[in-house]
Amino acid sequence: MQCQEALPLMHEYLDGSLSRPEALELKKHLVACPSCRERLNELEKMEALIQAAPRPTVPDGLTERIMQALPPAQQKHGWGRWFRSHPAASVAVVFALVMLGSFMSAWNADSELMVRGADLQSVVIQGDTVLVPAGQTVDGNLTVENGKLQVDGDIEGNIVVIDGSVSLASTAHISGQITQIDEAFSWLWFKMSDWATHISQ
């Protein structure tokens, strides 16, 4: 055994964690090496001095005073941890928020008059007013966005008015339903239904 191998074994011997075979090897080396014997004697004296030294006493209440002086622990928000542990759900939530934001901005920014229907030949547009004159018939559904609809004639279908108003004359005849959409969520639902209808066709 070399002296550099003996030094760690000396520390283990002083700690009381040296195995029996290692202790025999160390003893053989110490018999043959006077410098390592001297070093072990010094380590044993140092260990005895440390053990004999008086232990410092801790004043009463010191631990409590230290704990009170520490800044309060910050509360960690559970949402961040939840988002990190559920990445797929996080992506779905972010996607839904982005889509809702785009629909809402489209709702707010969309102020241009738009008229849709299968038969628009009988429709007259004057400014922001869509007029179905008396004696005229619109075959099919009629959708008006961001405008006023004045019906004096006949509509053989449904009427949908988005962010606008409907006026029916006493001569008007509507064979379908009249739907008025003035709220953003109703508009969103209408757009999604319309989109689904176009996909399914």
Residue 185 has pLDDT above 70, yes or no: no
Strand (E) positions, 113-153?
A: 114-117, 124-126, 129-132, 137-139, 142-145, 148-151
Residue 72 included in any domain: no
Residue 68 included in any domain: no
What are the DSSP calls for 163-197, one per residue? SSEEEE-TT-EESS-EEEE-SHHHHHHHHHHHHHH
Residue 93 included in any domain: no
Q: What does the angle CA 141 – CA 154 – CA 117 come to, to the nearest 5 degrees?
A: 25
β partners of residue 43:
none
pTM (two decimals): 0.41
- pLDDT at res. 108: 57
Which range of residues forms the domain containing residue 193? 109-200
Residue 109 has pLDDT above 60, yes or no: no
Residue with tokens 């009381």: 16
Tokens (6 digits) for 14:
């002083």
In total, how many domains does the chain have?
2
Cα distance between residue 170 and residue 93, in whole Å: 49
Q: What does the angle CA 196 – CA 200 – CA 201 come to, to the nearest 5 degrees?
A: 120
Residue 71 included in any domain: no
pLDDT digits over 117-168, tens only?
Answer: 888 888 999 988 999 999 999 999 999 988 899 999 999 999 988 888 898 9
CA quadruple 135, 167, 131, 180: dihedral positive or negative?
Answer: negative
Q: Is the domain of 121 the same as that of 187?
A: yes
Greater pLDDT, 29 or 189: 29
Q: Is the domain of 114 the same as that of 195?
A: yes
- Of 128, 101, 126, nearest in space to 114 by CA: 128
Give the chain's mean pLDDT: 82
